């Protein structure tokens, strides 16, 4: 009677988008991308026989400005994706069609299609290099978002393997942005008591957020920011990673997101901010807001900010002043819709009490130099002469 004991590996889905893998052989293999083993094997070449990541969809997506674009018509290399091209590393088709009578373009990228899979290629053995005669099999395992993929390959020189991921987690839910993935490579030798494991870390690209929603096409002037992952998806197909340096920083051309005004978790008083009220702030370094609802820009470089019951102007030189205050706020509990009114800050705007969920919109008209306030709760449009 023969009894076979199998190595049990269990994946526990813990917290959100975190994978804890409890395996006796894997726990020793995934630190700092270094080759480790619980048992020494005399046949294994620990210096030369190391797996490496050849290509990944995340690498080709996060640094689009430095990628090589191959024109499908002429076969030449394009410095920028200004025409119909093929991205060789991720095997994605990039199309740009100009819109007549405008400077905008329609952009299509096949990597955003529903059937496109995120891939990663791992080099297992080096081409042209001899492999140990005792090496029998190579085991490869990919763990991403709770899903597990495994391959068992016969040992050979110049061996590499490609994994494809459908961008969904273990619960079949769509995953957006770049997600971490773990790769485990095991070398099985004849005469060695256990498998020699190596661990690698990489990132795979999930689904992209919809931008223009034009049947798979986007306008190059439309962008969308994924605040959860810190990714800016541009309409021209590039992805800028503001949360991490390296590729994302290069793709953004040195762009960073930083706050320019407001105190974190320090709101201003609800009352109107008069010039003598120092608690509201009069400069970018000291200004505080109560509830930001809308924003618009003027040709002179100033910004008009809808701050709860106030309209405030941030000039190009950093000065902050209140230009309009609502006399009465909508409290959400009245019937019919209360009357609204307001006055400029110079005339001594009054304040009221009510709910902070006061929705209105701002727009600056460069022709007449006026600021227009749209109030959907009272069905009014207010023109503010500045």
| 296 touches 320 (CB < 8 A) | no
What is the model's pLDDT at position 247?
41
Cβ-based neighbours of 306, under 8 Å, separated by 6 or more: 292, 293, 294, 295, 360, 361, 362
What's the rounded Cα separation, in Å, for the pair 306 and 361?
8
3 state DSSP class of 198: strand
Specify the 3-state DSSP secondary structure of 61.
helix
125 burial level (CB within 10 Å; 0-12, 13-18, 19+):
buried
Model pTM score: 0.56
pLDDT per position as a tens digit, 338-361? 344 555 544 333 333 444 456 788
pLDDT single digits (tens) 276-308:
566 677 788 888 888 888 899 999 989 999 888
Q: Which residues lie closer than 8 Å to 315 by C-beta, 6 or more apart?
A: 300, 301, 302, 321
Instruction: Give 130-156 pLDDT, tens digit per residue.
Output: 888 999 999 999 999 999 999 999 999
């Amino acid at each position: 009677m023969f009894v076979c004991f199998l190595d049990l590996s269990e994946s526990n889905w813990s917290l959100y988008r975190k994978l804890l893998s409890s395996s006796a052989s894997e726990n020793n293999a995934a630190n700092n991308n270094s080759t480790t083993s619980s048992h020494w094997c005399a046949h294994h070449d620990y210096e030369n026989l190391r797996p490496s990541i050849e290509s990944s969809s995340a690498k080709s997506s996060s640094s689009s400005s430095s990628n090589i674009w191959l024109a499908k018509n002429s076969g030449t290399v394009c410095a920028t994706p200004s025409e119909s091209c093929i991205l060789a590393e991720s095997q994605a088709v990039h199309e740009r069609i100009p819109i007549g009578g405008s400077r905008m373009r329609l952009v299509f990228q096949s990597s955003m299609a529903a059937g496109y899979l995120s891939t990663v290629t791992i080099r297992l053995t080096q081409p042209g290099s001899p492999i140990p005669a005792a090496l029998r099999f190579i085991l490869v395992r990919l763990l991403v978002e709770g899903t597990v993929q495994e391959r068992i390959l016969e040992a050979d020189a110049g061996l590499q393997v490609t994994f494809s991921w459908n961008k969904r987690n273990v619960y079949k839910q769509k995953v957006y942005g770049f997600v971490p993935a773990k790769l485990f490579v095991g070398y099985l030798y004849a005469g060695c008591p256990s498998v020699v494991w190596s661990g690698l870390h990489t990132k795979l690209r999930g689904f992209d957020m919809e931008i223009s929603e034009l049947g798979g096409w986007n306008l190059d002037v439309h962008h969308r920011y994924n605040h959860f992952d810190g990714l800016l998806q541009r309409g021209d197909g590039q992805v800028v990673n503001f949360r991490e340096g390296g590729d994302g920083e290069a793709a953004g051309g040195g762009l960073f997101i930083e706050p320019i005004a407001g105190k974190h978790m320090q709101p201003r008083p609800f009352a109107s901010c008069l010039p003598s009220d120092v608690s509201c702030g009069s400069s970018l370094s000291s200004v505080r807001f109560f509830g930001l609802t809308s924003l618009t820009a003027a040709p002179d470089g100033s910004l008009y900010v809808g701050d709860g019951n106030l309209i405030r102007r941030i000039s190009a030189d950093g000065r902050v002043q209140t230009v309009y205050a609502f006399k009465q706020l909508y409290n959400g509990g009245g019937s019919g819709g209360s009357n609204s009114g307001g006055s400029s800050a110079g005339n001594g705007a009054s304040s009221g009490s009510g709910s902070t969920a006061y929705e209105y919109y701002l727009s600056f008209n460069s022709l007449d130099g006026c600021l227009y306030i749209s109030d959907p709760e009272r069905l009014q449009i207010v023109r503010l002469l500045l």
